[in-house]
Amino acid sequence: EKHPDLLPGEVEFCSANPILKYTQDDLSQRGVFGTLFCTNFRVTFISDEKPQEKTDKTFKNKLYGENDIPLMCVDHIYGVYDEKRKLITGGLVKNKYPSKMIIHCKDLRVFQFSLTFSKEEDAKKVICLTSGIKCLCMYFVSAEMQWKQETVMFDSPEDWTQEMKRTKANCRLVTENENFELSQRYFLQLLLAVECLINVTNPKLSIVLTVNSTFTLTSIFFSFFFRMINAVAHNHLYSVKTEDLSESLPNIQDIQQSYNKFKQFFLIENSTDFWLSDVKWFSSLESSGWLDIIRQCLQKAVEVVECLEKDNTNVLITEEEGTDLCCVISSLAQIMLDPYYRTLMGFQSLVQKEWVAGCHAFLDRCNHLHQKDKEYHSPVFLLFLECVWQLVHQHSPAFQFSETYLTVLSDSVHVPVFSTFLFNSSHHRESVMKAESPLAQSGPLSCPTVWDWSVQFDSKAQNFFFNPLYLEKVKHDRAVRKPHKPKHQRNLSLPSSAFKTPPKKGFFKDETDSLKKMLRVKRLSRWRGSPDAPAATTREFFESWQHRPLDYHGLLLPCLDGPAVHIWMQRYLRWIPEVYILGGGSVAVMTKLMELLSQVQDLKRVLEQRDSSQAAKLDHRPYFQHRLLSFDSSGRLSSSFPFAYTCYRSFKPIIPTGLMQSLMVTDSLASQEDEASSVVSFV
């Protein structure tokens, strides 16, 4: 009898056999027989048939394979009862026994299992556990922490100090909250802006205000709004604009609803559905509003950037809790402004800083516990990744990481192994870890972060995370690693030494002065006069940026016109065989590029070897630091590479069906003759 290869700490609960798994890519109701297992980590299907060929996937996830669904990744389970489908929730299988089970996954895979051949009892148990499991399974490994070290975790004062040095931020670190005495919902350390000292009495107060041109985040409770502005305005040479995101952007419920509609278009169960939905494809996408939300977020980030960049004005962004859209907008603005965040490590550090340390409530938002209370669920982090993808798509050479990296990151949110996405805040994490620690058999509990990519992928597969188009900045002096100084800081008139010796003029000193400033700020904060106004000025800002030569290491802005906003094809279409382009897609071009790259590298090596005797080593530049992707050259890759392989499908074209459904041109034109003027010769 077969059993799944269990991970350390994984426990098998139950199984059902025989189960027929339908093969997705045809309608003929054919499938593979096998056994369905449910463990504390996943649902897994093990085929009775021997794998026909060893599919030697270069891009394989070590934790779960193509027939595994981590329980946290399960989105919805449907039971099919006599052609009717019903949502199965809370582990309750209605009295009737479904003949078929359909699982929609959060990474957009769709599984269909026929249950008619197995024992009712067994299958029911599997369904029950799959749909109802509430325990968060964490699996504890001691991973080689190779990546973690490079990613700044922002869990110690040193990390913050380092970051402030890097950005030349004129801020002071406040450690009053080290033990979460001030706020449980906030950072381990509070970072306060410039020299403003705020009398933090309210334990709920949560502040990160950074008022240098590079930093943007602020999230505070509204009651402290004015005090904050005051402090900032008073102490800085610049004015401050405030923006309440809950007024100008969709709220988390809107985001959730929109995404729920949107994802339906990609959870395709069969060919007929696919072609039916093809007809109204564009208007369906639009009706979900998802792309529009992406556009709005990017737009807002551009507005923030404009303030910082053009007007040298600090920005204070607020929202009710300050841990959702604040995270999105501030991270996006930082990516646009600072090329460091476009490197892989920089990006990970940014997520760590703005999202993890910034207390985005991952546990609630991702609904890891499958709670019914829908109020708190929202794919806010995914929304952020979507926005980043748009930037990557438009300015690919500016990013060190690839879209595959983003796709994998979006999947990893639903793998219950990483501490990164399991908690609502640092405080939450610490308290849970403390509570669980005695239960752990050996030593304190350690839980890898998602940045330990080796937990999921071997180093070969990790090469897919790098973008071969990335234009590395030419370093003129390799020996000295100068801290990065972005262009937009040029105009900063504050001396960098201010960091060490902050001038002592708190805002308490001069009440009247601060009042004046407060008023000025209030006036300025009306920066959204009419709803159309910002779009127009941002458009101007965008155009003036566009007229300058494009610098991939400088400011980066997205084009937000309709045709420029695209669908993240790799993430959303990777499991749909109907759209696989065999031997095509951008993969084909990338393969060529990688081939040439390795050829050039080989040549360089040969030359260097020959040169080594000679002193004339003229060229020391690290030409190609990219890790090489090794695509298996056997067989043609499909456009969905590296996620799905189609090598074994017959090489037959897919012919659309239901073509005429929408194109009923009611116009009289349709019935008109091609040659209206001429008469067909009768013979």
Distance between CA atoms of 367 and 554, rounded to whole angstroms?
37
Give whichever of 503 and 658 is closer to other proteins, judged by the CB atom.
658
Name the one range near other proteins by CB under 8 A: 6-14, 84-92, 449-457, 575-583: 575-583
251 is in an annotated binding site: yes
What is the smallest separation between the CB atom of 646 and other proteins, expressed in angstroms?
12
Distance between CA atoms of 217 and 243, rounded to whole angstroms?
11
- Stretch (H or E) spanning 588: helix 586-611
Name the DSSP letter for residue 109. Answer: -
Instruction: Count the residues of the shown chain that bind other proteins, applying the rule CB under 8 A.
Output: 92
What is the smallest separation between the CB atom of 34 and other proteins, expressed in angstroms?
30
Give whichever of 136 and 597 is closer to other proteins, judged by the CB atom.
597
Give whichever of 78 and 275 is closer to other proteins, judged by the CB atom.
275
The first and second tokens of residue 301, run together, are 């980030």
Find the binder of other proteins among 32, 203, 586, 647 (CB under 8 A): 586
Q: What angle do CA 12, 15, 21 make, to 5 degrees?
A: 120
Kindly write down the DSSP assignment for every residue of 631-677, as one continuous string: ---SSPPBTTTTT---TTS---PPPP--GGGT----SGGGGS-SSSS
Work out whether 129 is an interface residue with other proteins (CB under 8 A).
no
Name the one range near other proteins by CB under 8 A: 112-120, 220-228, 244-252, 659-667: 659-667
What is the smallest separation between the CB atom of 632 and other proteins, expressed in angstroms?
17
Contact indicator for 273, 281 with CB cutoff of 8 Å: no
Work out whether 609 is an interface residue with other proteins (CB under 8 A).
no
Find the binder of other proteins among 1, 526, 610, 634 (CB under 8 A): 610
Find the binder of other proteins among 441, 612, 633, 677 (CB under 8 A): 677
Give whichever of 283 and 491 is closer to other proteins, judged by the CB atom.
283
Classify residue 433 as exposed, middle or buried by CB count within 10 Å of its CB (0-12, 13-18, 19+). middle
Name the one range near other proteins by CB under 8 A: 438-446, 454-462, 512-520, 594-602: 594-602
- Determine the angle formed by the axes of helices 533-547 and 290-309, rounding to 10 degrees: 70
Find the binder of other proteins among 29, 156, 606, 635 (CB under 8 A): 606
Q: What is the CA radius of gyration of the chain?
A: 28
Give whichever of 283 and 530 is closer to other proteins, judged by the CB atom.
283
Contact indicator for 458, 62 with CB cutoff of 8 Å: yes
Q: Is 569 left (phi over 0), alpha (psi -120 to 50) or beta?
A: alpha
What is the smallest separation between the CB atom of 264 and other proteins, expressed in angstroms?
14
- Please, which of residues 385-404 interact with other proteins by CB under 8 A? 394, 396-397
Give whichever of 237 and 596 is closer to other proteins, judged by the CB atom.
596
Count CB neighbours of 458 within 10 A: 14
Give whichever of 162 and 598 is closer to other proteins, judged by the CB atom.
598
Q: Phi and psi of 47, rounded to 5°? A: -75, 145
Give whichever of 117 and 623 is closer to other proteins, judged by the CB atom.
623
- Please, which of residues 625-644 interact with other proteins by CB under 8 A? 625, 639
Strand 240-244 to 314-318 pairing: parallel
What is the smallest separation between the CB atom of 585 and other proteins, expressed in angstroms?
7
Distance between CA atoms of 544 and 236, rounded to whole angstroms?
27
Distance between CA atoms of 67 and 32, rounded to whole angstroms?
12
Contact string 245-284 vs other proteins (x = CB under 8 A)? -----------------------------xx--xxxxxx-
Distance between CA atoms of 539 and 560, rounded to whole angstroms?
9
Of 152, 185, 146, nearest to 167 by C-alpha is 152
Work out whether 580 is an interface residue with other proteins (CB under 8 A).
yes
Distance between CA atoms of 104 and 116, rounded to whole angstroms?
20
The first and second tokens of residue 497, run together, are 């030494």
- Stretch (H or E) spanning 42: strand 42-47
Give whichever of 204 and 649 is closer to other proteins, judged by the CB atom.
649
Find the binder of other proteins among 254, 509, 589, 632 (CB under 8 A): 589
Strand stretches in 51-121, DSSP E: 68-70, 74-81, 84-88, 100-105, 110-114
Work out whether 430 is an interface residue with other proteins (CB under 8 A).
no
Find the binder of other proteins among 135, 439, 479, 680 (CB under 8 A): 680
What is the smallest separation between the CB atom of 570 and other proteins, expressed in angstroms?
12
- Please, which of residues 456-485 interact with other proteins by CB under 8 A? 468-469, 471-474
- Please, which of residues 515-554 interact with other proteins by CB under 8 A? 542-543, 546
Question: How far, CA to CA in Å, does 620 sit from each of 328, 473, 478, 602, 628?
Answer: 39, 14, 9, 16, 20
- Please, which of residues 279-338 interact with other proteins by CB under 8 A? 279-283, 285-287, 291
Distance between CA atoms of 573 and 312, rounded to whole angstroms?
42
Distance, CA of 268 to chain centre: 22
Find the binder of other proteins among 178, 623, 630, 635 (CB under 8 A): 623
Name the one range near other proteins by CB under 8 A: 171-179, 371-379, 457-465, 665-673: 665-673
252 is in an annotated binding site: yes
Scan for tokens 């007229």, then name that residue: 547
Count CB neighbours of 90 within 10 A: 10
Give whichever of 451 and 641 is closer to other proteins, judged by the CB atom.
641
What is the smallest separation between the CB atom of 574 and other proteins, expressed in angstroms?
12
What is the smallest separation between the CB atom of 649 and other proteins, expressed in angstroms?
12
Give the count of alpha carbons within 13 A of 557, CB side only. Answer: 25
Instruction: Show binding-site residues for substrate.
Output: 251-252
Q: Which residues are annotated as a binding site?
A: 251-252
